[in-house]
Structure 1
Amino acid sequence: MLKHLDKIVDKGMLEEFKTFPNQGILWGIIEQQKTGKIFELPSNAILVMENCPDPFVFIAGDLTDEDVTEVVSLVGGLEFPMLYCQAKYHPLFLNHGWNFHLRSSLTLQKPIQIISPNPKLEIKPIKSIELFKQCTWYKERSELYGSDENFLRYGIGYALCKGSSVVSEAYASSGGGYAEIGVITSPDHRNKGYAALIVSHLINECEKSQIIPEWSCNVDNRASLSTGLKMGFEIDSYYTLLVPDCGNVVCKNLVNWLKNNDYPM
């Protein structure tokens, strides 16, 4: 059975979490628990998970097959859970039909400041319910924080407005001195440099607060990668998540290779 925790007291687990990707997202949950929950698994491993249909899921500690069964049950009804744990436990998830999901991690090297030449564009902090409800990611962010009120109180977001319309928006999931940046531009206003403009502003706000901006994306998300590189981020690593994906040939081949080479399953 999973046990809900109010906080993590095991210092070893906390140190292990510091080695994980997506530090802003992870520590935002650990420190505030406004955007996710913390659970203890049967073996005393710790699971941290976002409040959304496609959550990041982080697990620290030693895992057993019983733990994995509990995790699979926990995320079974979700749209696209993406799980990070020590690589030696990947075979336990592969045996449950899960597969690999690759992402790029980028570090900010030299921020690029972008100033809009268009006086009709205005950047506003998302701190009113009226502005929040105009945003493309209104539903997603409200669900992530548990309510509109929680987002307006604890969330970090900025909207790029053209007149009364929101054309692009950027958010930061912040914790542990890091901020994972996400950006979305209205489909009717893409390829106009709006994403770079709003991200540049958010990076500047992070630096004012001495928070380190982070950027990550799926390896095939060329639009996100291009925006990150344009803003002064550089790829520093790639990392593997696990996702529920039955029937994948690569996954089956890897499971067979692990078995045939006496890898612990």
Structure 2
Amino acid sequence: MVVLGELNPNIRSKLIELFERNQKVDLSIDSIIAEGQTGRNISIIVDNLLNPKVVQLSQGTFTMFAGDTKNEVAFELVRNLSHLYWIMPCSEEWLNLIKDVHGDKLVQSERYSFSGESIEKSHLIDLIENNPFKEMLCKIDMEMANKMAEDELNKYHFMNYNSPEHFINTGFGYCVKIDNKIVSACSSGLICKVGAEICIITHPDYREKDLATLTAAKFILNCLDNGLVPHWDAANPKSIGLAKKLGYTYVGSYNVYHI
């Protein structure tokens, strides 16, 4: 097996081909495989560099598999699966292999997909203008990013980047500052030419104040102004409710698994 921190052009097209059978539910393949996004929590494992037949792509707390399940490396990858990862949709062959190896330890959960095609800019502007904290909204700059990286909650905005500086140079985000403290932020968890994967974190002491609505509305508005798809994926009722409030349309659900 070979663990790759980043991809060279020679292997990129081969891995894209391996992932063709996977259901696309986020921007991982576009950002990491197609365009080469790197980060401290991003890893790519292949059976070999010359002609890969098996690949595991991990980012943040998610992982996905593609390729030939009969390859001995496929079994090894599945056997070594960490309980920290959610397993994203894969082919039936991969799912059967994962079930065979982990049996009753494998737990199924449901996530929910949304489309942003119906979002109206005027609606987002209204959400921003009518929010009592709008004057505290600002774009994340280098100084803020460095502070956020040292915070136990906000550090997760940068898990798919090499550093806060890498995030500032590659991605973007917006936050709300109260008493000089960043209490809510919406950022690009993944980013590519196609769009941005949305990451929102609000400090527990400041929830139920529409801060997530404010930061998300500004983030999505920026995406739309720059021709990016603001990709929304929900795991719980609150995220579903916020998506609908922002103007997203529910598309459907899919299953994920963890050990």
TM-score, structure 2 normalization: 0.79
Alpha-carbon distance in 2 for matches of 1:140, 1:11: 27
Counterpart of 1:250 in structure 2 is: none
Between the aligned residues of both structures, percent identity stands at 22
Counterpart of 2:128 in structure 1 is: 115
Other structure's SS at 1:179 match: strand
Counterpart of 1:38 in structure 2 is: 44
Q: Does residue 174 of structure 1 match 2:191?
A: yes
Q: Does residue 145 of structure 1 match 2:150?
A: no
Q: Does residue 193 of structure 1 match 2:210?
A: yes
Amino acid at match of 2:53: N
Alpha-carbon distance in 1 for matches of 2:222, 2:22: 24
Amino acid at match of 2:32: I
Q: Does residue 26 of structure 1 match 2:29?
A: yes
Counterpart of 1:69 in structure 2 is: 75
Q: Does residue 49 of structure 1 match 2:54?
A: no
Alpha-carbon distance in 1 for matches of 2:111, 2:237: 12
- Cα offset for 1:17? 6.8
Note the alpha carbon deviations across 1:94-139, whole angstroms, 9 max, x for none.
1122332321111112233112443663222212234542466432
Unaligned regions of 5+ residues in structure 1, if any? 245-265
1:133 to 128, 143, 147: 147
Q: Does residue 240 of structure 1 match 2:245?
A: no
2:231 to 197, 214, 219: 214
User: 1:242/1:120 Cα in 2 relative to 1: closer, same or farther (>3 Å)?
Assistant: closer
Counterpart of 1:229 in structure 2 is: 244
Other structure's SS at 1:230 match: helix
Amino acid at match of 1:243: H
1:91 to 54, 72, 96: 96
Larger mean Cα displacement after TM superposition, 169-178 or 30-39 = 30-39
1:103 to 108, 111, 134: 111
Count of residue correspondences: 237
Other structure's SS at 1:115 match: helix
User: 1:175/1:58 Cα in 2 relative to 1: closer, same or farther (>3 Å)?
Assistant: farther
Alpha-carbon distance in 2 for matches of 1:91, 1:235: 28
Amino acid at match of 1:171: S
Contact 1:120 1:162 in 2 (8 A): no
Alpha-carbon distance in 2 for matches of 1:178, 1:17: 21
Alpha-carbon distance in 2 for matches of 1:89, 1:15: 12
User: 1:144/1:105 Cα in 2 relative to 1: closer, same or farther (>3 Å)?
Assistant: same
TM-score, structure 1 normalization: 0.77
- Cα offset for 1:20? 1.3
Counterpart of 1:254 in structure 2 is: none
User: 1:58/1:216 Cα in 2 relative to 1: closer, same or farther (>3 Å)?
Assistant: same
Alpha-carbon distance in 1 for matches of 2:18, 2:85: 26
Two-structure CA RMSD over aligned residues (Å): 2.7
Alpha-carbon distance in 1 for matches of 2:159, 2:43: 13
